[in-house]
Amino acid sequence: MIKTDINGDIGIISLDRPPVNAINPELVSDLTDALDSFKSNDDVNGVILQGRDGCFSAGLDITHLFPKDRSYIEGFWEDFSSLLLNMFSYPKPLYSSIGGHCPAGGTVMVIMSDYRIMSKGNYFIGLNEVDVGLTVPYGIGMVFQYVVGNRNAEDLLLKAKLISPDKALQVGLVDELCNAENLLDTTLERIAVASNLYSPQQTKTKQILREQTLSIVEQNFDKDAQLILDAWFSEHGQQRLEVLYSKLSRK
């Protein structure tokens, strides 16, 4: 479900759960372990997260999650948001190589990283939570604002926009576009500038820059779980999720 590799001093984590890297409890757990392992590995000065060709991740595994009860979803959400918190406060440079579609939970993961490079192509990226009956919780909303700014955050989130790589570059949701065949090499080139300077001082500087946002995320950690659960199990949420579930189950 997760493959790891080391290139020089850069750890590479590849999400590999065909066909679309749908996020289920096992993927969350394996990704958490991979990040922890590179964190404590003194030979690793930076980490790249990538998906599969054509798809970084399609988001949460609704087929698996929709039939589950409230306590199951609660446990899953707690693990998933702990993973996100670990990513946003990761002490080493953490870059994303986005080689294709990256909606919903895919976007949620990559905004936690330091830098996003996306393949040019007919792909989409964005947070469509509001369209599937979910609230964008504090943790994800604050980081999204941190990345794209207030006006873009409102425009994209309240309209549940899934956008092209070109538009994502324009609003700052990704930092750079490149051709699919150069994606990993370009990401390795970019992260080298940061990983060459990896030091306690760099880590502390990153923590200082993210501290205001991180503190709001942490303060609302429990409240966010309730927001997600309430929306998920609301009448409106169940209706929207069922539409999605039926569509995905037919595939």
The H or E element spanning position 221 is helix 221-232
CA distance 77 to 57: 17
Geometric angle at alpha carbon 158, from 157 and 162, rounded to 5°: 50
In order of 68, 134, 165, the CA distances from 94 in angstroms are 32, 28, 20
- Of the listed pieces 9-17, 20-28, 76-84, 191-199, which binds its own copies according to CB under 8 A? 191-199
Geometric angle at alpha carbon 29, from 25 and 33, rounded to 5°: 170
Q: Count how many residues are written for the chain.
A: 251
| 126 forms part of the interface with its own copies (CB under 8 A) | no
* Residue of the chain from 14, 119, 145, 187 that contacts its own copies (CB under 8 A): 145
| 85 forms part of the interface with its own copies (CB under 8 A) | no
- What minimum distance in Å lies between the beta carbon of 170 and its own copies? 13
Site string for its own copies, 4-43 (x = CB under 8 A): ----------------------------------------
| 150 forms part of the interface with its own copies (CB under 8 A) | yes
- Of the listed pieces 12-20, 31-39, 71-79, 212-220, which binds its own copies according to CB under 8 A? 212-220
- Amino acid 248 reads L
- Amino acid 212 reads Q
User: What does 154-202 look like in DSSP terms, one character per residue?
Assistant: HHHHHTT--B-HHHHHHHTSSSEEE-GGGHHHHHHHHHHHHHTT-SHHH
List beta partners, residue 174.
none
* Residue of the chain from 162, 206, 214, 241 that contacts its own copies (CB under 8 A): 206
| 94 forms part of the interface with its own copies (CB under 8 A) | no
Q: Which is nearer to its own copies, 16 or 175 (CB)?
A: 175
Quickly count helices (H) and strands (E) in the chain.
11, 9
- Of the listed pieces 2-10, 49-57, 129-137, 243-251, which binds its own copies according to CB under 8 A? 129-137
| 154 forms part of the interface with its own copies (CB under 8 A) | yes
Residues that bind its own copies (CB under 8 A): 93, 114-115, 129-131, 133-138, 141, 145-147, 149-151, 153-155, 157-160, 172, 175, 193-194, 197, 199-202, 204-206, 208-209, 211-213, 216, 227, 231, 234, 236-237
